[in-house]
């Protein structure tokens, strides 16, 4: 009931906002919907393709937040994963296709994890707030990619700020007639594994306890909190890095500067909407994938700037926060 | 040599001003026990407010628009964290995303294709008679836009208010021990809300500085992480007005060195220079954060 009311209120407010700015809300809504769900092609090539990195980065954020680690750095870890995968694909050994793909995945996850490990060391050894350090690392990663694609990794003609196209052996297989690649199924598998680990294993339990109450975890549970925090950072970074690798191998086939339209930030909305539950990250990621795909269509067909999606994301997070707080007070009052 | 030093100082102060303003505002917020991650969004909204104000009514309206937009954003944050007691970090992140989306959408809707060429009245440097004539550093320090003088004066004023008045004592008590402060009759919500609004005004002014005293125009995402750097500066300045001002100046100086090196043309990639403030923040935090103590109740909304 609350969800439906809040949802309706958000849609109405957004329509009003667009109308005030002299856009046509009906046309925008139609373009948004048909861009995301209008046909099997639109759904598979737009919504699911954009949903794939959002599921993986959403998992990264959800796992970290569950452990009480505010990793806002999925964006930078995604970029580093994309960089590693592109580097291995371009300069790595020429093996058979499954091996090359696997090697690129490993490289992407590893560099994503290492990039997150910087923030983990800063937090566990130097007491640096990870919200600040991961944001700083996002900027550093952005400039590093910018340097690489204009410098050592630039394509051979030195005209465009991007790498050469990766060899066919590193490309992910696609479904017939659509742009959906097998990376989507890897994302689903990752969500399944993460859900199982969180629910049914000792490691998942330690992670949840540490997030819920680190002091109790340390004193009553005998848990090495630093170690759990470090693992949470590393796994989170590996998932975001894998998202970057899959984006390069399944969608862009090259590394360039603006390879991520802010997936790492949208991931926060995905994780919160999924209530940090790995299984719910899948529908939440697909929903935001639909929103992103629809927004691109909306900009093309109705002239509405696609950054408006950020407004929707933020309002959604705030509405969820507000609703949770109101519900809590209601319970306290009763 | 003296001309170079003067240019260096001028550039250092120019970069330090928005960082220092935002950080001094955040300092007050954190001493009240709240960490405002939405500072980044506040600066961005302030910058956009400055554009709207200045394109309608000149520089003064621009600064008014900047402060107004900053306060409005901070009020929204205050409503969530003080009234609804939601998680400060998540609410702050959401507000920053909201600011990016809103300013981006409004900018394209209101200024459209002309955006890039749009330029507005800017705040000219004002030379302070006498002081600006001091040899070596006079011209660098005292021939600045009005916001730099706001920055200078707010350092001692803030120190005096925080450490020598009853209200300042109340603020610090709220950040250290909310329960004791409440028992002593301090109204927690009021202190926290007011300090957030002050932080919003300072952050908005910082955004206005970027538009009115530096770029002369608005660009999407032009806050470029300054809000987060300002939060780091509060840590580096050990939650003290003078320390915060010094840390902001160190950042300004580092950026000035970076501009000089860039201008000297050593053939180094420019992305290296652009990354300097962020890497410097990380390094500085690693050196200082472990050896200093935050207000005891920082980011713990439940303890009240």
B86 to A321: CB separation less than 8 angstroms, yes or no: yes
- pLDDT-based confidence at residue B296 (cuts at 50, 70, 90): confident
In a domain, A36, yes or no: no
Q: How many CA atoms lie within 13 A of A84 on its CB side?
A: 30
Phi-psi region of A223 (alpha: psi -120 to 50; beta: other; left: phi over 0): beta
Q: Is the pLDDT of residue B292 over 80?
A: no
Q: What is the pLDDT of residues A88-122, one digit of tens each?
A: 999 988 889 999 999 999 999 999 999 999 999 99
Is residue B230 within 8 Å of residue B68, measured between CB atoms? no
First to last CA, chain B: 56
Structure ipTM over 0.95, yes or no? no
The rounded distance, in Å, linking the Cα atoms of A315 and A273 is: 11
B104 to A269: CB separation less than 8 angstroms, yes or no: no
Length of chain A equals 334
Give contacts of B85 with chain A, Cβ < 8 Å: 325
Give contacts of A122 with chain B, Cβ < 8 Å: 282, 285-286
The rounded distance, in Å, linking the Cα atoms of A266 and A293 is: 13
The rounded distance, in Å, linking the Cα atoms of B96 and B116 is: 23
Which DSSP string do the residues of B255-288 spell out, in sequence order?
A: HHHHHHHHHHT-S--HHHHHHHHHHHHHHHHHHH
Nearest CB to A135 within list B108, B110, B225: B225
In a domain, A40, yes or no: no
Q: Per-residue pLDDT averaged across A173-186, rounded?
A: 91
The rounded distance, in Å, linking the Cα atoms of B201 and B180 is: 29
Q: What is the mean pLDDT of chain B?
A: 88
- pLDDT-based confidence at residue B216 (cuts at 50, 70, 90): confident
Q: What is the pLDDT of residues A47-65, one digit of tens each?
A: 999 999 999 999 999 999 9
Domain range spanning residue A256? 55-289
- Percentage of residues of chain A with pLDDT beyond 70: 98
Give contacts of B295 with chain A, Cβ < 8 Å: none
Closest CA to B228 of B11, B42, B14, B48: B42
Interface test with B, best of A314, A316, A320, A326 (most B CBs within 10 A): A314
A273 Cβ contact partners less than 8 Å away, ≥ 6 residues apart = A280, A284, A287, A288, A316, A317, A320
A199 Cβ contact partners less than 8 Å away, ≥ 6 residues apart = none
pLDDT (0 to 100) of residue A280 = 95
- Higher pLDDT, residue B207 or A304: B207
Is residue A282 within 8 Å of residue A290, measured between CB atoms? no
Q: How many CA atoms lie within 13 A of A239 on its CB side?
A: 32
Q: How many CA atoms lie within 13 A of B9 on its CB side?
A: 17
Is residue B207 within 8 Å of residue B42, measured between CB atoms? yes
Is residue A53 within 8 Å of residue A82, measured between CB atoms? no
pLDDT (0 to 100) of residue A23 = 84
Q: What is the pLDDT of residues A264-282, one digit of tens each?
A: 989 998 998 898 999 999 9
Q: What angle do CA B297, B36, A11 make, to 5 degrees?
A: 125
The rounded distance, in Å, linking the Cα atoms of B47 and A7 is: 31
pLDDT (0 to 100) of residue B295 = 85
Written as six digits, the tokens of A98 are 């499954």
The rounded distance, in Å, linking the Cα atoms of B222 and B225 is: 8
Which residue is associated with the tokens 């987060």?
B228
The rounded distance, in Å, linking the Cα atoms of A30 and B6 is: 59
In a domain, A1, yes or no: no
Give the residue extent of every domain in chain B: 2-115+155-291
Q: Is the pLDDT of residue B9 over 60?
A: yes
In a domain, A46, yes or no: no
pTM attached to this predicted model: 0.90
The rounded distance, in Å, linking the Cα atoms of A59 and B192 is: 34
B89 to A326: CB separation less than 8 angstroms, yes or no: no
- pLDDT-based confidence at residue A334 (cuts at 50, 70, 90): low
Class of the B2-115+155-291 domain?
mainly alpha
The rounded distance, in Å, linking the Cα atoms of A255 and A240 is: 16
Q: Where are the alpha helices (DSSP H) in A21-169?
A: 25-37, 40-42, 48-66, 74-91, 97-126, 130-150
Q: Where are the alpha helices (DSSP H) in A152-276?
A: 183-200, 202-212, 214-219, 225-247, 263-273
Strands (E), B160-290: none
pLDDT (0 to 100) of residue B228 = 92
- The dihedral through the CA atoms of B210, B212, B215, B219 has a sign that is positive
- Higher pLDDT, residue A103 or B302: A103
CA distances to A90, A150, A162, B6, B80 from A154, rounded to whole Å, are 11, 5, 5, 40, 46
In a domain, A219, yes or no: yes
Closest CA to A43 of A51, A306, A248: A51
Give contacts of A265 with chain B, Cβ < 8 Å: 97
Give contacts of A130 with chain B, Cβ < 8 Å: none
- pLDDT-based confidence at residue B136 (cuts at 50, 70, 90): confident
Nearest-by-CA chain B residue for A128: B289
Closest CA to B203 of B96, B89, B53, B55: B96
Closest CA to A129 of A213, A262, A236, A229: A229
Distance from CA of A176 to the nearest CA of B (A): 36
Nearest CB to B105 within list A125, A305, A321: A305
Nearest-by-CA chain B residue for A61: B90
Reported for A17-23, long-range contacts at CB under 8 A and 24+ positions apart, including other chains, are A17/A311, A18/A304, A18/A308, A21/B105, A21/B106, A21/B109, A21/B110, A22/B109, A23/A302, A23/A303, A23/A304, A23/B109
The rounded distance, in Å, linking the Cα atoms of B69 and A110 is: 42
Distance from CA of A95 to the nearest CA of B (A): 34
Q: Per-residue pLDDT averaged across A295-319, rounded?
A: 86
In a domain, A236, yes or no: yes
- pLDDT-based confidence at residue B102 (cuts at 50, 70, 90): very high
Rg (CA), chain B: 19
| Lowest-confidence region among A182-191, B126-135, B230-239 | B126-135
In a domain, A168, yes or no: yes
Is residue A89 within 8 Å of residue A249, measured between CB atoms? yes
Q: How many domains does chain A have?
A: 1
> Coil, helix or strand for A221?
coil
């Amino acid at each position: 009931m609350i969800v439906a009311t809040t949802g309706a209120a958000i849609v109405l407010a957004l329509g009003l906002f667009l109308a005030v700015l002299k856009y046509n809300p009906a046309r925008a809504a139609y373009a948004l919907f048909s861009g995301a769900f209008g046909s099997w092609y639109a759904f598979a090539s737009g919504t699911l393709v954009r949903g794939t990195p959002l599921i993986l980065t959403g998992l990264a954020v959800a796992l970290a937040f569950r452990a009480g680690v505010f990793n806002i750095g999925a964006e930078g870890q995604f970029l580093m994963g994309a960089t590693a995968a592109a580097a291995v694909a371009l300069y790595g050994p020429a093996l058979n296709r499954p091996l090359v793909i696997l090697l690129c995945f490993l490289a992407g996850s590893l560099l994503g994890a290492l990039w997150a490990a910087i923030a983990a060391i800063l937090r566990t050894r130097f007491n640096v707030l990870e919200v600040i350090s991961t944001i700083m690392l996002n900027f550093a990663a952005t400039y590093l990619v910018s340097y690489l694609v204009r410098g050592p990794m630039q394509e051979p003609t030195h005209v465009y700020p991007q790498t050469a196209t990766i060899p066919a052996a590193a490309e992910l297989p696609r479904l017939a007639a659509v742009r959906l690649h097998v990376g989507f199924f890897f994302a689903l598998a990752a969500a399944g594994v993460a859900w199982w680990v969180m629910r049914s294993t000792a490691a998942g339990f330690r992670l949840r306890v540490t997030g819920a109450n680190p002091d109790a975890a340390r004193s009553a549970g005998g848990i090495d909190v630093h170690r759990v925090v470090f693992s949470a950072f590393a796994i989170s970074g590996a998932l975001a890095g894998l998202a970057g690798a899959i984006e390069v191998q399944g969608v862009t086939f090259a590394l360039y500067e603006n390879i991520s339209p802010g997936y790492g930030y949208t991931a926060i909305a995905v994780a919160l909407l999924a209530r940090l539950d790995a299984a719910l990250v899948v529908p939440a990621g697909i929903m935001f994938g639909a929103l992103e795909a629809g927004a691109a269509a909306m900009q093309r067909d109705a002239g509405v700037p696609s950054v408006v999606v950020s407004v929707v994301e933020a309002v959604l997070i705030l509405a969820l926060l507000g609703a949770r707080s109101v519900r809590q007070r209601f319970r306290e009052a009763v | 040599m003296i001309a170079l030093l003067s240019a260096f100082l001028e550039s250092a102060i120019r970069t330090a001003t928005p960082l220092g303003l935002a950080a001094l505002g955040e300092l007050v917020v954190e001493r009240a026990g709240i960490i405002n991650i939405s500072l980044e969004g506040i600066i961005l909204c302030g910058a956009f407010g400055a554009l709207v104000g200045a394109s309608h009514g000149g520089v003064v309206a621009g600064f008014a628009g900047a402060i107004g937009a900053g306060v409005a954003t901070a009020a929204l944050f205050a409503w969530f964290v003080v009234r609804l007691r939601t998680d400060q970090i998540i609410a702050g992140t959401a507000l920053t995303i909201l600011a990016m989306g809103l300013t981006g959408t409004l900018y394209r809707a209101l200024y459209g294709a002309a955006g890039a060429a749009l330029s507005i009245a800017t705040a000219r440097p004002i030379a302070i008679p006498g002081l600006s004539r001091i040899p070596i550093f006079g011209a660098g320090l005292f021939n600045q836009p009005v916001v730099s003088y706001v920055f200078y004066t707010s350092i001692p004023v803030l120190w005096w208010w925080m450490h020598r008045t009853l209200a300042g004592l109340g603020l610090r008590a709220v950040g250290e021990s909310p329960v004791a402060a409440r028992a002593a009759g301090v109204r927690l919500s009021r202190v926290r809300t007011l300090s957030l609004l002050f932080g919003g005004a300072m952050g908005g002014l910082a955004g206005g500085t970027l538009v009115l005293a530096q770029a002369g125009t608005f660009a999407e995402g032009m806050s470029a992480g300054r809000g987060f750097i300002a939060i780091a500066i509060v840590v580096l300045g050990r939650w003290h007005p003078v320390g915060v001002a010094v840390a902001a100046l160190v950042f300004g100086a580092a950026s000035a060195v970076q501009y000089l090196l860039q201008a000297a043309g050593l053939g180094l990639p420019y992305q290296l220079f652009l990354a300097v403030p962020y890497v410097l923040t990380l390094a500085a935090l690693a050196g200082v954060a472990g050896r200093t103590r935050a207000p005891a109740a920082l980011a713990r909304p439940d303890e009240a």
